[in-house]
Structure 1
Amino acid sequence: MNPISAIITAAGKNRRMRQDLKDRGIPYGHKLLLEIDGERVLTRTVRNVLDVGVGECLVVLGHYQEELLPVLDDVDDERLKIIVNPDRDVELSQTLLNGVLNAVTDYCLCVAADQPTVTTSTLKNLVDTLFNSAEPENTISILARRSVGQLESAKGLGMPFACHRNILMRFLPRDADNLNPILGKMIRECVKFYGVPHQDEVELLNINRYDDYLKVLELLKKE
């Protein structure tokens, strides 16, 4: 087995997309069920992650699990595991922690389900950068938003990233919060961060709003 577990967080409330669709008069739908090139956002993210060659891929569900589960049934891969938050109304850090607690390896590749445009190549680069670092047990390899290389700030950072599970077990239980403030605490407490460059602008887009989705479609059409 590859010594890394992938954790995909897919437990959010979908509030911004739901409001955008309502304002536009578009029938309600979950952002992870929108289609890109005929494939659902969720399954596209899962496929990109599985193609890295991870030992297992845990998708953590919460809100709207009844809508998302049937889509995951279409993924025919024994490495795919479904984890459900015991309490749906939790912050992202707790969803990620639930994935870490169920992972079987020491290293984790953490990806948000609404990041279908992060390529398998970039995800592999995150993993390789971590394992090739001088201190993989105290390093987070993360998709850079500004600077690349050794980072001194977590400003603007989030998923995807790869790291040792002990880092996550050290920090995630402390705070029920979004990830960015927790990443900032990691840097301040001497966890090393290495920013990996994106291959294309579209990799930096999370699909939170309907305009994000339209922008993704526009950028992919230009490729």
Structure 2
Amino acid sequence: MWNQDKMGAVLLAAGYSSRMVKCKSLLPLGGLRVIERGINTFRQAGIMDITVVVGHWADELIPILDELKVSYVFNEKYSEGMFSSIVKGVQSLQAETKAFFLLPSDMPLVKSHTVRLLGRAFNKIKADIIYPVFQKHRGHPPLIGANCFPEILLGNTRGGLRQILERREGNAYEVEVFDEGILLDLDTHEDYQKIMTGYHRGDIPTQAECEAILVKMNVSEPIVNHGRMVAEIARNLALRLNQIGLNIDVHAVIAAGKLHDLAKGRPNHAQFGGRILKKYGYYKVAQIVAAHTDMEMNEKALPDEAAVVYLADKLVKGGGIVSIDERFSASMDEYAASAEAVAVIRERRLRAEKMEQTVEQLLGISLVMAARDLC
């Protein structure tokens, strides 16, 4: 839990959007507008004191903000640049505000989980500024404490907000996040296409986010390579199943395939890895990872994402493709001295074989042969 009381958010939407010609904040994104995504990010994190600073596109934005029941202020000096909008936003904050999140409205992929992490850090550390950091790069939204407000409100700093924050670097704090969205904005049409792709992933980690998690967890290169192979097999199995009418989330199985062994070497590594991913806000992938060593499958049910990753993992040993028989025979030999372990392995093998039979009947192919063809 964290205390979000007396924290606000300022979204900047006063600029010209000159490189996009049209208002970036009103571009469609997954059935909503870009500006709505940013607003929802804060609301989902429990931040309700939200102000949008409008300017050049005010006539188009204000009706939408009224519809969303979001406060806004008009920056009559928007032509002077972003700092003038920041000043206007800080002027609008409630007197008791202890800190505010600052987010350009054209950054709609920031996760609400990231906002919560920053807020928790501020409550614990009491720094002047809390920065989110992804792969050693600071991004948005910084959480700016009330100690900075007086200097911002003077509004006469030539270097803008950056100069003010640089002077307080000694009391700044960085929070590592696995959220590529803190770096992605909408400056160009190419940026928009990338963000459209990112939106459709939902809470599934991107390739860069997967890599950052694996580095953070100090996962060895052999295990990383194993995960890549599992991800590729899972991807192709998912695509084949979708061709016959199933609705497997391909992005989810790729991410889970790459990350399924992120806690390898720890007791109950599947559940441990699932808890780590849940902590980072990747709930769907966390469930798949937690189930990858031992899972039940209703024989009458169609395979889902967890089943696809489970099977893909059983078809890979080391750097090569193996049959389920080969995979479990090796384990039986390794633990032959333990009757209890052998019983567990035998039960797992039966479950895997039943799952394999179900998928093979659906696809009309041998899974191990298909895997070898794919790789």
TM-score bin, normalised by smaller chain: 0.7 to 0.9
Which residue identity is paired with 1:184? Answer: E
The CA distance in 1 between the partners of 2:20 and 2:159, in whole Å, is 20
The question of whether the paired residues in 1 share the 8 Å contact of 2:17 and 2:24 is answered with: yes
Q: Secondary structure at the match of 1:159?
A: coil
Match of 2:35 among 37, 42, 47: 42
Q: Name the counterpart of 1:166.
A: 147
Q: Are 1:140 and 2:129 an aligned pair?
A: yes
Pair 197,162 (structure 1): closer, same or farther in 2 beyond 3 Å: same
Of 106, 111, 119 in structure 1, the residue corresponding to residue 111 of structure 2 is: 119
Q: Deviation at 1:42?
A: 0.5
* 1:220 partner amino acid: Y
| Root mean square deviation, CA, Å | 2.2
Residue matched to 1:150: none
Alignment match, 2:52:
59
Look up the equivalent residue of 1:75 and give its one-letter code. Answer: L
Deviation at 1:176, TM superposition (A): 4.7
Given that 2:54 and 2:73 are in contact with CA atoms closer than 8 Å, whether structure 1 keeps it comes out as yes
- The aligned residue for residue 216 of structure 1 is 195
Offset at 1:41? 0.1
**Equivalent residue of 2:107, what SS?**
coil
- Other-structure match for 2:67: 74
Report the alpha carbon displacement of residue 158 of structure 1 after superposing the two structures with TM.
5.1
Q: CA deviation at 1:3?
A: 1.3
Q: Percent identity?
A: 25
- How far 1:55 sits from its partner (Å)? 4.3
Pair 56,221 (structure 1): closer, same or farther in 2 beyond 3 Å = closer
Gaps of at least 5 residues in structure 1 are 19-28, 148-155
Counting matched residue pairs gives: 196
Q: How does 1:15-30 map to 2 (within 5 A)?
A: 15-18=18-21, 29-30=22-23
Instruction: Give the conservation status (yes or no) of the 8 Å contact 1:6–1:56.
Output: yes
Flag the structure with larger Rg.
2
Once residues 91 and 165 of structure 1 are traced to their aligned partners in structure 2, the CA distance between those partners, rounded to angstroms, is 22
User: Given the two structures, how large is their TM-score scaled by the length of structure 1?
Assistant: 0.78
The structure in which a higher percent of residues are strand is 1
Specify which structure has the bigger relative contact order, considering alpha-carbon pairs within 8 angstroms and separated by 6 or more residues. Answer: 1
* 1:11 corresponding residue in structure 2: 14
1:194 pairs with 2:173:
yes
Spell out, residue by residue over 1:163-220, the C-alpha distance to the aligned partner (whole angstroms, 9 max, x if none).
Answer: 2123133256242555445433432xx3x22222333324420111111110111233
- One-letter identity of the residue aligned with 2:9: A
Task: Report if aligned partners of 1:2, 1:55 keep a CA contact under 8 Å in 2.
Answer: no
Q: Distance in 2 between matches of 1:12 and 1:157?
A: 22
Q: Which has the higher helix share?
A: 2
Q: What are the within-5 Å matches in structure 2 for residues 146-161 of structure 1?
A: 146-147=135-136, 157=138, 159-161=140-142
Change (3 A) 1:217 1:171: same
User: Residue by residue, what CA displacement relative to the aligned partner does 1:43-68 show, whole Å, maximum 9, x if unpaired?
Assistant: 11111112222241111111111111
1:94 counterpart = 2:112: no
The TM-score with structure 2 as length reference comes to: 0.48
Deviation at 1:157, TM superposition (A): 4.1
2:165 to 183, 197, 217: 183
